[in-house]
Structure 1
Amino acid sequence: MRKKARVSRNKEGHHGLNSNDFISRMPDDVLITILSRLPLKEAVSTSNLSTRWRYVWCQTYCLDFDANEKLDKIAVDSKVRVVERPKYINWVNRVTRQHKGPTIDDLRICFDLDKSSKGAIDKWVEFAVSKRVQKLELDLLENGEMLRQTPRNYVFPIKVFDRSLGLTVKRHSLTFPKTLGKDMEIRSLKFLFLKCVNVSEDTIAKLLVNCPALQQLSIHGSGDLVNVKISGKSLVLKYFEIVFCFGVKSIEIADSNLESFSYLGPGITIKLNNLPRLEEISIGEGYSGFENNVFGQISCCISHLQILTLDIYRPEENIKFLSFPQLPKLKQLILKVGAWDDDSLLEFTSLAKACPKLQRFVMQLIWMSPAKRRRKIRQVAKHPHKHLQLVEIVGYYGRTSDIELAVYFIENANSLQKIIIDPRYQVLERTPIGNDQLRKEKAARSCAKKQLEPRTPQGVELVIL
């Protein structure tokens, strides 16, 4: 009979160690750092290894409650939500009750939850604040991928962040540091991501006041925002994003150190003023993407802009008549474009021509009607792109419009080093891809190889994903 490994007590006073188990002999802080890099369920499972490991996971710095497999099932059959939602809530409650560490770096909630789960979500936010969280993410998208009707959204509990009201934290069997007081600012929070969470202008104002370290604020699908204003050199906010908040009428940002701004939604009034560090903008207004004079709205930072992303769901036929301003320092141009009826994409090269320092060009095609048309390949006047090194075409389908665009850059980018062709279908990530679509992607890869390999000059790397 095999002898059982002897349980002994080592110099550090740890029980249950095998003499050859060097990992278990590491200091707690090293083990906690290792476990913090594992998926949460794997970190928790280490409690079964030995008595030495039983409670180590309880001090992990990162609590990422990822439930991708369950969300994939809900995306296919929404009825599964009724069963899986209570399981998810119980899982988060169980882990937060057992957590013993004084702080956490990250708390990520990612599940289909709405205002009916307010009590549980409130407790999790309070838990995060009590643990001096640095990064808080509430991703509550319906089916894990879609916005829901905003009246059903969870409402962000600003009372937790409002020092004037005090922190009305109930213990709920959780352990809270004694330092929490009604005059305490939430100095630890640096990153806040909210999806399908209702916040108001007043909420944003209080967050910026009571979270003096806040660097990044991202809001998707909120129903309570109308007129958003951000200003003040004292703010450390660097990244600000508003996506599909359909009640928003205006956004005004002035006199701040903001470095990146993103807006996607209906055409609104956008006023940007005195933003010397703003070097990255992602914007798409309305179906055309150019509603409300987009370039006029961002004119204050055009001279120093380095990265620009434009969402253009339905390109207008008159895009050829639009005049684009010079973007003298732009290095990256990303265009997300609805692909309709094999319409030519060459008109977008006029945007690239307005960027003399351009180094990276990305065209992401969203197939709306990926039909191929037989027509001759168009060409436009040559224009040297002296600094362009990387071209990416995502959603390449082998249409005439696709090859036209690729050939244009092959012929005009003198410093081109790499072309990346990605034929994968650009749809909601949880939507199952059928066999028919997989066959189309395989055919697109074959087309790309046949169309572009003979045209790609020596020294340029062609990558087909």
Structure 2
Amino acid sequence: MESDEAAARFLVAVPGGGGGSDFLSRLPDHLLVDILHRLCTKEAVATTVLSRRWRAVWAGLPHLNFDDVDPSAPARALASYQDLAAFEIQRLAVSPNQVDAQETSAWLALAAPLLSGPLDLNISRALSKEALDNLLMGGGDGDQEAVEFPCFERATEVRLDLAFLAPALPPVGVFHALRSMFLHNFRCQGQIILSAMMLPSLQHLTMNRGRCLNVLINSEFLICVHLSYLMLLQQLAIVAPGLQQLEVVHCFYDAPIPVANIDAERLQVLSWEVPYDAEFVHLGEMPCLWRLRAPPISMFRWQAIQMAQICARFLKRFAAVNHLELQMSLGVSASFLDAFFLQSPLQLKLLRNDS
């Protein structure tokens, strides 16, 4: 912080100014704000030490980006912003240099009533890739805390990369304006429930690299859902009448009996790159489906014949689609599956990976 303050003083210093005056301080507010736009937020906040004239200038910034800062810095800045600013925050991005659930919860509570645009929180940047992979596979679960996530009524997009902290959603409140949610490197104890009552405008949902048992989604306005690398996932339930695209990739592999119930009658694109058992996986009627990606055939997890049988049972669930994508690896022959498609009207596209 001392270096930022020194840089701020240098910015306005005018040789021979006399009496502590400087040329920049005489400019109107909108020009000063335009100057601060060219600084990082941490440096812009540091200009408050220059004089009373500069105390509130930084609060005119509509976009705040706290990059590589102490976890407590956003809370201090947002508390000042709340007192000084006559405007709302149009975009907020925070990348702390340490993982601290308590400090993160503190500034999120301050930001919630101020933000009217996208929120980008990236805590994972504070950890190495090896540490994140270890947490994904279950290492250190007991040491990870929860982040209290308040209701952002006017936020339009939320991107959370949580370094495997657990997001604790509010028991009450409505995210009226939220259209897109991206949840990465997270965990939860029990289940995640996303409903139209809390997220009435949600259209795009991505959940990637998480540790959770159950995911329950109920939203009539959802258009696109992407779920990938959800470790421990045992149950997935989606009720989304307007859903057009669903991708479920690398999930359920740790579950003894994967259970899924999908109700999405307008679905057009389905990628089901996970285990399939017709007894426990119910996909519902999908009369609009035209593009299908089947469970991959690979020897990484099962023998090829077993995976081919799983794939075949999945494909028999569909009478016809316009476009089919099938992945095979480790030298599995395309002729191996010919018997499954002889009587099928499906268009077959083979994505070969013989490595």
Which residue of 110, 115, 121 maps to 2:104?
Answer: 121
Q: Which residue of 2 aligns with 1:89?
A: 71
Q: Which residue of 2 aligns with 1:228?
A: 215
Residue type of the partner of 2:273? G
Deviation readout 1:263-320 (Å, 9 max, x if unpaired): 33224211112x23333434432xxxx4435997546337424474866663742256
1:192 aligns with 2:171: no
Which residue of 223, 234, 237 maps to 1:249?
Answer: 234
> How many Å apart are 1:122 and its aligned residue?
0.8
Q: Which residue of 2 aligns with 1:132?
A: 115
RMSD over aligned CA atoms reads 5.2
The percent of aligned pairs where both chains have the same amino acid is 12
Q: Could you list the runs of 5+ residues in structure 2 that have no partner in the other structure?
A: 1-13, 154-170
State the number of aligned residues: 292
Find the aligned partners of 2:326 and 2:92 in 1 and give their Cα distance: 31
SS in 1 for 2:215: strand
8 A Cα contact 1:162 1:210, kept in partner: no
Q: Which residue of 2 aligns with 1:265?
A: 251
Q: Could you list the runs of 5+ residues in structure 1 that have no partner in the other structure?
A: 18-23, 68-86, 164-181, 366-400, 403-465
Q: Which residue of 2 aligns with 1:421?
A: none
SS in 1 for 2:181: strand
TM-score when normalising by structure 1: 0.47
> How many Å apart are 1:89 and its aligned residue?
1.3
Find the aligned partners of 1:208 and 1:280 in 2 and give their Cα distance: 22
Residue type of the partner of 1:153? Q
Mark the CA change 1:204 to 1:348 in structure 2 (over 3 Å): closer, same or farther: farther
1:328 aligns with 2:321: yes
Residue type of the partner of 1:15? R
8 A Cα contact 1:193 1:219, kept in partner: yes
**1:264-283 residue pairs with structure 2 within 5 A?**
264-267=250-253, 268-273=258-263, 275-283=264-272
SS in 1 for 2:133: coil
Mark the CA change 1:301 to 1:187 in structure 2 (over 3 Å): closer, same or farther: same
Which residue of 26, 29, 38 maps to 1:15?
Answer: 26
Deviation readout 1:41-83 (Å, 9 max, x if unpaired): 745546799999996654444445555xxxxxxxxxxxxxxxx
**1:11-410 residue pairs with structure 2 within 5 A?**
15-16=26-27, 31=34, 35=37, 42=40, 44-45=42-43, 58-65=59-66, 88-99=70-81, 102-110=87-95, 117-141=100-124, 143-144=128-129, 145-146=132-133, 148=135, 149=138, 150-157=141-148, 160-161=150-151, 185-199=174-188, 204-205=193-194, 208-223=196-211, 225-233=212-220, 236-263=221-248, 264-267=250-253, 268-273=258-263, 275-285=264-274, 290-292=275-277, 297-298=282-283, 300-301=285-286, 303-306=288-291, 308=293, 314=300, 316-318=303-305, 322-323=311-312, 324=315, 325=318, 328-330=321-323, 333=325, 340=330, 343-344=331-332, 346=334, 356=347, 401=354
Residue type of the partner of 1:192? M
**1:418-457 residue pairs with structure 2 within 5 A?**
none
Mark the CA change 1:334 to 1:146 in structure 2 (over 3 Å): closer, same or farther: farther
Deviation readout 1:326-364 (Å, 9 max, x if unpaired): 653448x585x7x64xx2574699799976497xx876x
8 A Cα contact 1:284 1:312, kept in partner: no
Q: Which residue of 1 aligns with 2:157?
A: none
